[in-house]
Amino acid sequence: MLDLQPFDDRSPDHLRLVLETSQIGIWELDIHSGKAVRNETHDRIFGYSEPLLEWTYDRFLEHVVDADRSRVDELQKSAIEENREWSFECQIRTAEDRIGWIKGAGRPLQDANGNVVRLIGHVIDISDLKQNEARLRLITDELNHRVRNMLALIKSMVRLSARGATDISSFTQALEDRVGALARSHQLLTGDYSASLKPSAILEAELSALSGFEDQVRMSVNGETHLAASAGQGLALVFHELLTNATKHGALSNDVGHVEVVFEQDADAVVIAWQERGGPPVDQERGSGFGSLLILNALAADGTVEQIFSPDGLECRIMLDVK
């Protein structure tokens, strides 16, 4: 069992050590003079590398940003009047002209007549905590946005797949494959940022889901950039449909055909040129199927897609806005 010994005469030294090495600013404010004594950490929190000769309540208020100053001052006045704790969070502008966040609390001390004469309290720097909270809110908002976009895409796929399905088995398989394309784009989005959601990486991910066609799909990257989540997910669906159609009806349906894919970028857009050669004659009715409909609509909010059913092979031109 742990034997707890009472503090001895060295207790003040222990307390002083804690205060000097912690990140807590300690202060004591004289109500009548407005002057305060405090430790070195207190002044560092407000951006001073060396302790000031004098600190006052008015100096403190000068550091509080305009939007928070009246609120913090009113809370202090109410705490003194009602003899209760003064607690607040606010933004400050430090002596280094940096915006930060602090959390403070004070307790009134009364004289023999019951009048509040002093406030004692502490202040801590919570800037990192506030930055992390803001980052978490941003991530949460972005996640919600991505989920809504993905659910909208899935809803559209289910509706259109059901319209063109001839039996439950083919409908199920097609829908699973298309949802798989979305999943692969999401995996890229949450993986290594150096490759995430670049158009060529999305095509490589879709190509990896097929077996034996790597040598028949030739890519040339002359320029590209990272895409927004909605554009990346839409492009994954487009590539999935193009590859699926090519293996069933186009240049990848035999051993001699091939697909050339060129990625280029200008100031406003990423341009992707898909060209099939060496496959069977192109059926002009391919342009009326669900796959073609999905290709034309998957990127409606992020760019344009044009398909040309040339006798020599399908050509597809994709333009993705990057502004």
Amino acid at 196: S
SS3 category, 313:
strand
pLDDT given at position 149: 64
pLDDT confidence band for 240 (50 / 70 / 90):
confident
pLDDT in tens, 73-85: 999 999 999 999 9
pLDDT confidence band for 118 (50 / 70 / 90):
very high
Cα distances from 274 to residues 243, 246, 257, 263, 264, in angstroms, run: 10, 11, 13, 9, 12
Most trustworthy range by pLDDT among 3-17, 21-35, 142-156, 189-203: 21-35
pLDDT(294) > 80: no
pLDDT(194) > 80: no
Q: How far apart are CA 126 and CA 263, in angstroms?
A: 46
pLDDT given at position 158: 72
pLDDT given at position 156: 62
pLDDT(237) > 50: yes
pLDDT given at position 32: 92
Contacts of 166 (CB under 8 A, 6+ apart): none
The secondary element (H helix, E strand) that includes residue 218 is: strand 217-221
Q: Output 36 or 192, whichever has higher pLDDT.
A: 36
Most trustworthy range by pLDDT among 20-29, 93-102, 222-231, 291-300: 93-102
Q: Which DSSP string do the residues of 43-75 spell out, in sequence order?
A: HHHTT-SS--S-EEHHHHHHHB-HHHHHHHHHH
- Looking at every residue in the chain, the average pLDDT score rounds to 82
Query: Considering only CA atoms, which of 68, 132, 134 is closest in space to residue 104?
Result: 68
Domains and CATH numbers, the chain: 21-125 (3.30.450.20), 132-321 (3.30.565.10)
- Token pair recorded at residue 63: 């550091």
SS3 category, 300:
coil
pLDDT given at position 19: 60
Q: Output 293 or 303, whichever has higher pLDDT.
A: 303
Query: Considering only CA atoms, which of 317, 248, 240, 243 is closest in space to residue 283?
Result: 248
Determine contact, residues 126/102, Cβ cutoff 8 Å: yes
Q: What's the whole-number mean pLDDT along residues 29-58?
A: 93
pLDDT(26) > 70: yes
Amino acid at 77: K
Q: Output 68 or 175, whichever has higher pLDDT.
A: 68
Q: What's the whole-number mean pLDDT along residues 268-297?
A: 79
Share of the chain above pLDDT 70, in %: 76
- Token pair recorded at residue 319: 């333009």
Q: Output 179 or 100, whichever has higher pLDDT.
A: 100
Q: What's the whole-number mean pLDDT along residues 262-286?
A: 86
pLDDT given at position 4: 45
